[in-house]
Amino acid sequence: MNTIKSAIIYTRVSSKGQSAFGTISLQVQEQKCREFCESKNIKVLKVYQDVRSGFDMTKLDGLQRAVRHLKRTNKNTMFVVYDVSRFSRNQTTGLSLLEQIRAKSRMVYSVLDTFLYDNNENNRFLWQQALDVAQKERERLIKKVNDSITFRIQRGDNFGNPGFGFKAVRMENDSRVFIQDVEEQEAIRDIILMNNDDRDCDYIANVMNTAEQLYRGSLWTASSVFYLINRTIRYLRTHNLTFGQTL
Protein backbone atom coordinates (compact mmCIF):
# COMPACT_ATOMS: atom_id res chain seq x y z
CA MET A 1 0.00 0.00 0.00
CA ASN A 2 3.03 2.28 0.27
CA THR A 3 2.85 3.03 -3.47
CA ILE A 4 -0.76 4.30 -3.25
CA LYS A 5 -0.93 8.07 -3.69
CA SER A 6 -4.63 8.73 -4.29
CA ALA A 7 -8.03 7.20 -3.67
CA ILE A 8 -11.63 7.21 -4.78
CA ILE A 9 -14.13 6.80 -1.97
CA TYR A 10 -17.48 5.08 -2.39
CA THR A 11 -20.31 5.18 0.18
CA ARG A 12 -23.78 3.62 0.12
CA VAL A 13 -26.95 3.35 2.17
CA SER A 14 -30.12 1.48 1.27
CA SER A 15 -32.50 4.37 1.93
CA LYS A 16 -32.51 8.08 2.72
CA GLY A 17 -33.64 7.45 6.27
CA GLN A 18 -30.88 4.97 7.08
CA SER A 19 -29.55 6.42 10.31
CA ALA A 20 -31.04 4.16 12.95
CA PHE A 21 -29.06 2.11 15.44
CA GLY A 22 -27.05 -0.58 13.67
CA THR A 23 -26.70 1.40 10.45
CA ILE A 24 -24.19 4.01 9.38
CA SER A 25 -24.86 7.15 7.38
CA LEU A 26 -23.19 8.33 4.19
CA GLN A 27 -21.52 11.13 6.15
CA VAL A 28 -19.99 8.79 8.72
CA GLN A 29 -18.80 6.39 6.03
CA GLU A 30 -17.12 9.23 4.16
CA GLN A 31 -15.52 10.60 7.31
CA LYS A 32 -14.02 7.24 8.27
CA CYS A 33 -12.73 6.66 4.74
CA ARG A 34 -11.16 10.13 4.69
CA GLU A 35 -9.56 9.56 8.07
CA PHE A 36 -7.99 6.36 6.76
CA CYS A 37 -6.69 8.11 3.65
CA GLU A 38 -5.28 10.96 5.69
CA SER A 39 -3.47 8.53 7.99
CA LYS A 40 -1.75 7.03 4.94
CA ASN A 41 -1.07 10.37 3.20
CA ILE A 42 -3.43 9.37 0.40
CA LYS A 43 -5.15 12.14 -1.55
CA VAL A 44 -8.90 11.74 -2.04
CA LEU A 45 -9.77 12.42 -5.68
CA LYS A 46 -13.53 12.16 -5.41
CA VAL A 47 -16.35 10.67 -3.36
CA TYR A 48 -19.22 8.77 -5.00
CA GLN A 49 -22.36 7.56 -3.30
CA ASP A 50 -25.58 5.62 -3.80
CA VAL A 51 -28.86 5.48 -1.91
CA ARG A 52 -30.06 2.06 -2.98
CA SER A 53 -29.90 -1.62 -2.08
CA GLY A 54 -26.51 -3.19 -2.66
CA PHE A 55 -27.89 -6.39 -4.16
CA ASP A 56 -28.61 -5.34 -7.76
CA MET A 57 -25.31 -3.68 -8.59
CA THR A 58 -26.42 -2.74 -12.12
CA LYS A 59 -28.63 -0.07 -10.50
CA LEU A 60 -25.83 1.46 -8.43
CA ASP A 61 -25.08 4.47 -10.64
CA GLY A 62 -22.64 5.97 -8.16
CA LEU A 63 -20.67 2.75 -7.97
CA GLN A 64 -20.52 2.38 -11.73
CA ARG A 65 -19.27 5.96 -12.12
CA ALA A 66 -16.72 5.45 -9.35
CA VAL A 67 -15.33 2.33 -11.00
CA ARG A 68 -15.13 4.02 -14.40
CA HIS A 69 -13.25 6.89 -12.76
CA LEU A 70 -10.90 4.44 -11.05
CA LYS A 71 -10.08 2.72 -14.33
CA ARG A 72 -9.08 6.07 -15.84
CA THR A 73 -6.59 6.81 -13.07
CA ASN A 74 -3.03 5.55 -12.74
CA LYS A 75 -2.10 2.41 -10.83
CA ASN A 76 -1.29 4.39 -7.71
CA THR A 77 -5.00 5.01 -7.07
CA MET A 78 -7.04 2.82 -4.72
CA PHE A 79 -10.79 2.28 -4.27
CA VAL A 80 -11.89 2.78 -0.65
CA VAL A 81 -15.15 1.73 1.04
CA TYR A 82 -16.19 1.79 4.69
CA ASP A 83 -16.97 -1.93 4.79
CA VAL A 84 -17.57 -4.81 2.40
CA SER A 85 -21.37 -4.60 2.67
CA ARG A 86 -21.24 -0.98 1.44
CA PHE A 87 -19.53 -2.23 -1.74
CA SER A 88 -22.06 -5.00 -2.38
CA ARG A 89 -24.53 -7.42 -0.84
CA ASN A 90 -24.33 -9.78 -3.80
CA GLN A 91 -21.41 -12.18 -3.64
CA THR A 92 -21.45 -13.22 -7.30
CA THR A 93 -21.67 -9.80 -8.93
CA GLY A 94 -19.53 -8.24 -6.21
CA LEU A 95 -16.66 -10.63 -6.87
CA SER A 96 -17.06 -10.14 -10.61
CA LEU A 97 -16.65 -6.38 -10.26
CA LEU A 98 -13.71 -6.81 -7.90
CA GLU A 99 -12.00 -8.97 -10.50
CA GLN A 100 -12.60 -6.33 -13.17
CA ILE A 101 -10.90 -3.80 -10.91
CA ARG A 102 -8.01 -6.15 -10.15
CA ALA A 103 -7.57 -6.80 -13.88
CA LYS A 104 -6.80 -3.08 -14.19
CA SER A 105 -4.11 -3.45 -11.50
CA ARG A 106 -6.16 -1.53 -8.94
CA MET A 107 -6.91 -2.43 -5.31
CA VAL A 108 -10.05 -2.10 -3.20
CA TYR A 109 -9.77 -1.48 0.55
CA SER A 110 -12.39 -1.91 3.27
CA VAL A 111 -11.68 0.41 6.19
CA LEU A 112 -13.73 -1.40 8.81
CA ASP A 113 -12.63 -4.89 7.76
CA THR A 114 -9.00 -3.71 7.26
CA PHE A 115 -8.25 -5.84 4.23
CA LEU A 116 -7.48 -5.33 0.55
CA TYR A 117 -8.76 -6.98 -2.57
CA ASP A 118 -5.57 -7.37 -4.57
CA ASN A 119 -3.35 -10.09 -6.03
CA ASN A 120 -2.96 -11.79 -2.66
CA GLU A 121 -5.06 -14.97 -2.66
CA ASN A 122 -5.68 -14.84 1.10
CA ASN A 123 -6.97 -11.26 0.84
CA ARG A 124 -9.33 -12.21 -1.97
CA PHE A 125 -10.63 -15.12 0.11
CA LEU A 126 -11.40 -12.72 2.98
CA TRP A 127 -13.43 -10.55 0.61
CA GLN A 128 -15.26 -13.59 -0.71
CA GLN A 129 -16.23 -14.62 2.82
CA ALA A 130 -17.25 -11.09 3.79
CA LEU A 131 -19.45 -10.74 0.69
CA ASP A 132 -21.12 -14.04 1.54
CA VAL A 133 -21.88 -12.74 5.04
CA ALA A 134 -23.19 -9.44 3.64
CA GLN A 135 -25.56 -11.24 1.25
CA LYS A 136 -26.85 -13.56 3.98
CA GLU A 137 -27.43 -10.59 6.30
CA ARG A 138 -29.61 -9.06 3.58
CA GLU A 139 -31.53 -12.29 3.11
CA ARG A 140 -32.17 -12.58 6.86
CA LEU A 141 -33.35 -8.98 7.05
CA ILE A 142 -35.77 -9.51 4.14
CA LYS A 143 -37.12 -12.64 5.86
CA LYS A 144 -37.68 -10.71 9.11
CA VAL A 145 -39.47 -7.88 7.31
CA ASN A 146 -41.67 -10.27 5.32
CA ASP A 147 -42.55 -12.24 8.46
CA SER A 148 -43.52 -9.00 10.21
CA ILE A 149 -45.66 -7.84 7.27
CA THR A 150 -47.39 -11.23 7.01
CA PHE A 151 -48.17 -11.20 10.74
CA ARG A 152 -49.57 -7.65 10.59
CA ILE A 153 -51.73 -8.45 7.54
CA GLN A 154 -53.15 -11.53 9.27
CA ARG A 155 -53.81 -9.39 12.36
CA GLY A 156 -55.74 -6.89 10.25
CA ASP A 157 -53.33 -3.98 10.22
CA ASN A 158 -53.65 -1.12 7.72
CA PHE A 159 -50.38 0.19 6.27
CA GLY A 160 -49.16 3.60 5.20
CA ASN A 161 -50.75 6.98 5.86
CA PRO A 162 -54.54 7.17 6.10
CA GLY A 163 -56.12 9.20 3.34
CA PHE A 164 -58.00 12.40 4.09
CA GLY A 165 -61.19 11.48 5.91
CA PHE A 166 -59.57 8.71 7.96
CA LYS A 167 -57.19 8.36 10.88
CA ALA A 168 -55.04 5.53 12.22
CA VAL A 169 -55.80 4.07 15.65
CA ARG A 170 -54.37 1.22 17.72
CA MET A 171 -56.76 -1.56 18.67
CA GLU A 172 -56.61 -3.66 21.84
CA ASN A 173 -54.59 -6.34 20.05
CA ASP A 174 -52.10 -3.59 19.00
CA SER A 175 -53.22 -3.77 15.36
CA ARG A 176 -53.21 -0.48 13.44
CA VAL A 177 -56.44 0.23 11.58
CA PHE A 178 -57.99 3.19 9.77
CA ILE A 179 -61.28 4.62 10.97
CA GLN A 180 -63.30 7.58 9.76
CA ASP A 181 -62.26 11.00 11.03
CA VAL A 182 -65.52 12.84 11.74
CA GLU A 183 -64.23 16.37 11.04
CA GLU A 184 -62.49 15.36 7.83
CA GLN A 185 -65.55 13.42 6.67
CA GLU A 186 -67.60 16.59 7.19
CA ALA A 187 -65.10 18.51 5.05
CA ILE A 188 -65.41 15.87 2.32
CA ARG A 189 -69.20 16.13 2.49
CA ASP A 190 -69.09 19.91 2.09
CA ILE A 191 -66.68 19.69 -0.85
CA ILE A 192 -68.75 17.05 -2.64
CA LEU A 193 -71.96 19.02 -2.13
CA MET A 194 -70.37 22.16 -3.60
CA ASN A 195 -69.02 20.11 -6.49
CA ASN A 196 -72.53 18.75 -7.11
CA ASP A 197 -73.69 22.39 -7.32
CA ASP A 198 -71.16 22.88 -10.15
CA ARG A 199 -68.80 25.04 -8.10
CA ASP A 200 -65.27 25.06 -9.49
CA CYS A 201 -62.27 23.94 -7.47
CA ASP A 202 -60.92 27.45 -6.86
CA TYR A 203 -64.26 28.50 -5.40
CA ILE A 204 -64.47 25.42 -3.19
CA ALA A 205 -60.90 25.89 -1.91
CA ASN A 206 -61.65 29.53 -1.02
CA VAL A 207 -64.84 28.60 0.85
CA MET A 208 -63.10 25.85 2.81
CA ASN A 209 -60.16 28.06 3.76
CA THR A 210 -62.43 30.95 4.79
CA ALA A 211 -64.38 28.55 7.02
CA GLU A 212 -61.07 27.29 8.43
CA GLN A 213 -61.87 23.75 7.36
CA LEU A 214 -58.25 23.15 6.42
CA TYR A 215 -56.49 20.24 4.75
CA ARG A 216 -54.70 18.81 7.81
CA GLY A 217 -53.40 22.20 8.85
CA SER A 218 -52.71 23.45 5.31
CA LEU A 219 -54.75 25.65 3.03
CA TRP A 220 -56.82 23.98 0.36
CA THR A 221 -55.80 24.59 -3.25
CA ALA A 222 -57.67 23.93 -6.47
CA SER A 223 -55.40 20.93 -7.04
CA SER A 224 -56.00 19.36 -3.62
CA VAL A 225 -59.76 19.87 -3.99
CA PHE A 226 -59.71 18.31 -7.47
CA TYR A 227 -57.69 15.32 -6.18
CA LEU A 228 -60.05 14.75 -3.25
CA ILE A 229 -63.18 14.90 -5.44
CA ASN A 230 -61.77 12.41 -7.92
CA ARG A 231 -60.51 10.09 -5.19
CA THR A 232 -63.92 10.09 -3.53
CA ILE A 233 -65.70 9.40 -6.83
CA ARG A 234 -63.34 6.50 -7.59
CA TYR A 235 -63.94 5.05 -4.13
CA LEU A 236 -67.71 5.21 -4.53
CA ARG A 237 -67.59 3.55 -7.95
CA THR A 238 -65.20 0.83 -6.80
CA HIS A 239 -67.37 -0.10 -3.81
CA ASN A 240 -70.72 0.51 -5.56
CA LEU A 241 -71.75 3.08 -2.98
CA THR A 242 -73.62 6.36 -2.96
CA PHE A 243 -72.11 9.35 -1.22
CA GLY A 244 -74.35 9.14 1.85
CA GLN A 245 -73.22 5.58 2.57
CA THR A 246 -69.64 6.70 3.22
CA LEU A 247 -70.54 9.04 6.11
Mean pLDDT taken over the chain: 90
Query: Has residue 98 got a pLDDT over 90?
Result: yes
Query: Has residue 20 got a pLDDT over 50?
Result: no
Under DSSP, is residue 82 helix (H, G, I), strand (E, B) or coil?
coil
Question: Which one is predicted more confidently, 244 or 174?
Answer: 174
Q: What is the pLDDT confidence band of residue 237, given thresholds at 50, 70 and 90?
A: confident
Q: What is the pLDDT confidence band of residue 117, given thresholds at 50, 70 and 90?
A: very high
Determine if residue 30 is left, alpha or beta; phi over 0 gives left, psi from -120 to 50 gives alpha, anything else beta: alpha
H-run or E-run covering 110: strand 107-110
Query: Has residue 244 got a pLDDT over 60?
Result: no
Cβ atoms of 42 and 5 within 8 Å: the answer is: yes
Q: What is the per-residue pLDDT for 247?
A: 47
Cβ atoms of 101 and 79 within 8 Å: the answer is: yes
Q: What is the per-residue pLDDT for 48?
A: 97
Query: Has residue 17 got a pLDDT over 70?
Result: no
Burial annotation 116-133 (CB, 10 A radius, 16+ → b, else e): bbbeeeebbebbeebbee
pLDDT in tens, 155-183: 888 888 888 888 999 888 888 888 989 99
pLDDT in tens, 177-206: 889 899 999 999 999 999 989 999 999 999
Rg (CA), the chain: 27
What are the distances in angstroms from CA 160 to CA 56, 167, 177?
A: 26, 11, 10
Q: What is the pLDDT confidence band of residue 21, given thresholds at 50, 70 and 90?
A: very low
The predicted model scores a pTM of: 0.69
